[in-house]
């Protein structure tokens, strides 16, 4: 499989410039979730609030910590007694009941700035894919993003062949399964969250990697953040 790393701010999108970027690549939802927990779920013995508070003394510390995490579910990083099944159940409950509040606390990733660079280029047809009304509301409320085309699932199915680059922040999930069935000879940009890679820096052994490779797609790595901005001088 062809693979290259694209550093933050380099650009380097290959082929015809028509990228599709999911909402979750542009807004860091796990950061919003942990900040919400720090504000409203301090009681009890589920989460290590002291650890969260320590990281939130400088929000960059929390962003960097979650950026470097090895487990995709962020709750596992802060549970006093980590349990995968419990963490998955809690994550779903938060997403189902507090999603708007989570989004109100989330931050932009570096891909947001990439969108701002791409949207004013007449040669680039950029699309942002959203899955929920709360995401659409946030996108529509941002004046910087108004010239970008927002697509829901139905429109994506109709127009997926119009896109030549696809951004993903995970190698699992329903969105990825859908791409596995449809993409061939495309460029796929995987955000460089640590959970997408093994200890040797190679992609984790996910079915999507094999599926993308078998259809001659090219997997590239792209920075989710300009890491220099998250490091203290």
pLDDT for position 210: 96
CA distances, 193 to each of 43, 61, 171, 190 (Å): 30, 15, 11, 8
Q: In which domain, by residue range, is 93 found?
A: 29-105
Determine the pLDDT at residue 152: 97
User: Where would I find the beta strands (DSSP E) of the chain?
Assistant: 5-6, 19-22, 27-28, 107-108, 127-129, 149-151, 165-168, 187-191, 218-222
Assess whether 97 and 13 both reside in one domain: no
pLDDT of residue 26: 98
Q: Do 116 and 211 share a domain, yes or no?
A: yes
Same domain, 115 and 17: yes
pLDDT in tens, the chain (233 residues): 445 555 544 445 544 689 999 999 999 999 999 999 999 999 879 999 999 999 999 999 999 999 999 999 999 999 999 999 999 999 999 999 999 999 999 999 999 999 999 998 888 999 999 999 999 999 999 999 999 999 999 999 999 999 999 999 999 999 999 999 999 999 999 999 999 999 999 999 999 999 999 999 999 999 999 988 887 65
Give the number of domains in the chain.
Answer: 2
CA distances from 82 to 48, 62, 86 (A): 11, 19, 8
113 and 208, same structural domain? yes
What CATH number corresponds to the domain at position 150?
3.40.50.720
């Amino acid at each position: 499989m062809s693979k290259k790393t694209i550093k933050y701010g380099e650009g380097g999108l290959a082929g015809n410039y028509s990228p599709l970027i999911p909402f979750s690549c542009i807004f860091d939802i796990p950061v919003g979730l942990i900040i919400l927990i720090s504000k409203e779920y301090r009681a009890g013995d589920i989460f290590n609030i002291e650890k969260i508070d320590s990281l939130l003394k400088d929000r960059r510390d929390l962003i960097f910590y979650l950026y470097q995490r090895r487990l995709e579910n962020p709750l596992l990083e802060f549970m006093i007694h980590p349990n995968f099944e419990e963490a998955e159940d809690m994550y779903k409950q938060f997403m189902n009941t507090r999603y708007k509040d989570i989004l109100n606390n989330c931050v932009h990733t570096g891909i947001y700035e990439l969108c701002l660079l791409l949207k004013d280029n007449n040669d680039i047809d950029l699309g942002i894919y959203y899955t929920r009304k709360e995401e659409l509301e946030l996108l529509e409320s941002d004046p910087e993003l108004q010239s970008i085309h927002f697509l829901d699932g139905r429109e994506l199915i109709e127009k997926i062949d119009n896109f030549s680059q696809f951004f993903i922040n995970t190698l699992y999930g329903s969105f990825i399964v859908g791409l596995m069935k449809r993409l061939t000879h495309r460029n796929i940009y995987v955000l460089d969250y640590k959970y997408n890679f093994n200890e040797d820096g190679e992609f984790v052994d996910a079915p999507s990697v094999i599926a993308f490779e078998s259809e001659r797609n090219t997997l590239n790595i792209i920075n989710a953040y300009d890491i220099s901005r998250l490091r203290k001088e």
